[in-house]
Amino acid sequence: MKSVFLPRLVNGPFGDPGLHVSLRWQGTAVQFDLGRLDRLPAADVLKLTHVFVSHTHIDHFIGFDRVIRLFLARDAALSLYGPPGIIGNVTGKLAGYTWNLVDGYHFVLTVHEVHPDRIRSVRLPATTAFAVEEAGSRAFSGVLHEEPAFCVRAVHLDHKIPCLGFALIENTHLNVRKDALDQLGIPPGAWLNKMKEAIRTGQPGDTVITARWVDGATEHATELSLAALRDRLVVETAGQKLAYVVDTLFSTQNVARITELARGADVFFCESLFLDEDRDQALKRYHLTARQAGTLGRLAGVKHLQVFHFSPRYDGQADRVYAEAEAAFRGALAADAPV
């Protein structure tokens, strides 16, 4: 199966956090965290449609200015999600510049502030110098954003401030078997999309799908049951899943939330600022060690663990951090116990 998410960390393991994910089938991209983005080409920044910010410590948010700089004169919309306080953080940053020559600019930034039980949204149009327009509030129960091909989930984690952990989840692939379709003798058409939609939305097996097609001057229509079509035509394959967790305490509650969020991920991107030998520092600063990151990956049953966001104190020793995380992930190093 072709990968549809093409993720890459914007900086090296000692650089600011930022995960850029190209969405192969639609030519757009999403981004997790906005650390320094100098190394991300402008063309890639401009592919962004959704940005997810874990928290606004400077190493996760300093790249915001580059995003705005590039989008400003574009006829584009960008959605940004962040933890409680993000609206104030964004408007505070924007207030640091002068916006008197922007009328006629079409760029609109929408900011979604994610609270444990609700999401408050505001629109910030460039043309009105980013004046805040309330854009409603909705209940939040885990899903931040959803579209036909994928969704983004989030959990609130404790980093001595609320910090969001994210998962990017592709929907199940529904592939139609060409040979079976040929045997059925009905040409492909809109009815196949109706069938897929019915499967995705969990419609009962006796749901009737009507296939209509024209053969010369003759119009045809055939009614088929969803269950029969599904058995005969459809091969389901699991979609991809990425998880992204940074800057968080190895506490019982965080561990439970991260394990649930990252369950079965193809790639789990996880911070590991410290080594186990400096676990007292990790505890004090509400960060993870490499051993804890490995433990989380193991508990969540992820396929691949990618640790990053290393403390500069290990400059030249990245191998030690990778090795410790991998050892805990593989079970060669005992799991750490949450505080």
Helix (H) or strand (E) holding 297: helix 290-300
Contact status: 59 vs Zn ion (CB under 5 A): yes
Of 18-26, 54-62, 177-185, 298-306, the window that binds Zn ion (rule: CB under 5 A) is 54-62
For residues 75 and 107, the answer to whether their CB atoms sit within 8 Å is yes
Q: Return phi, psi of residue 16, to 5°.
A: -65, 145
Which of 58/217 has CB closer to Zn ion?
58
Of 53-61, 216-224, 248-256, 275-283, the window that binds Zn ion (rule: CB under 5 A) is 53-61
The CB-of-313 to Zn ion minimum distance in angstroms stands at: 14
Contact status: 33 vs Zn ion (CB under 5 A): no
Which of 63/125 has CB closer to Zn ion?
63
Contacting Zn ion (CB under 5 A), which of 57, 173, 194, 285? 57
Which of 308/322 has CB closer to Zn ion?
308
Instruction: Say how many Å lie between the first and final Cα of the chain, rounded.
Output: 40
Which of 65/266 has CB closer to Zn ion?
65
Separation CA 336–CA 296 (nearest Å): 9
Q: Which of residues 235-254 bind Zn ion (CB under 5 A)?
A: 247
The CB-of-165 to Zn ion minimum distance in angstroms stands at: 12
Contact status: 16 vs Zn ion (CB under 5 A): no
| Burial of 152 per CB tally in 10 Å (0-12, 13-18, 19+) | buried
Which two structure tokens, joined as six digits, stand for 21? 């994910």
The CB-of-55 to Zn ion minimum distance in angstroms stands at: 6
Q: How many residues bind Zn ion (CB under 5 A)?
A: 3
CA dihedral 82, 84, 85, 89 (to 10 degrees): -10
For residues 213 and 187, the answer to whether their CB atoms sit within 8 Å is yes
For residues 124 and 91, the answer to whether their CB atoms sit within 8 Å is yes
* Residue recorded with tokens 């953080």: 89
Which of 153/309 has CB closer to Zn ion?
309
Which of 310/322 has CB closer to Zn ion?
310
Question: Where on the chain is the footprint of Zn ion (CB under 5 A)?
Answer: 57, 59, 247
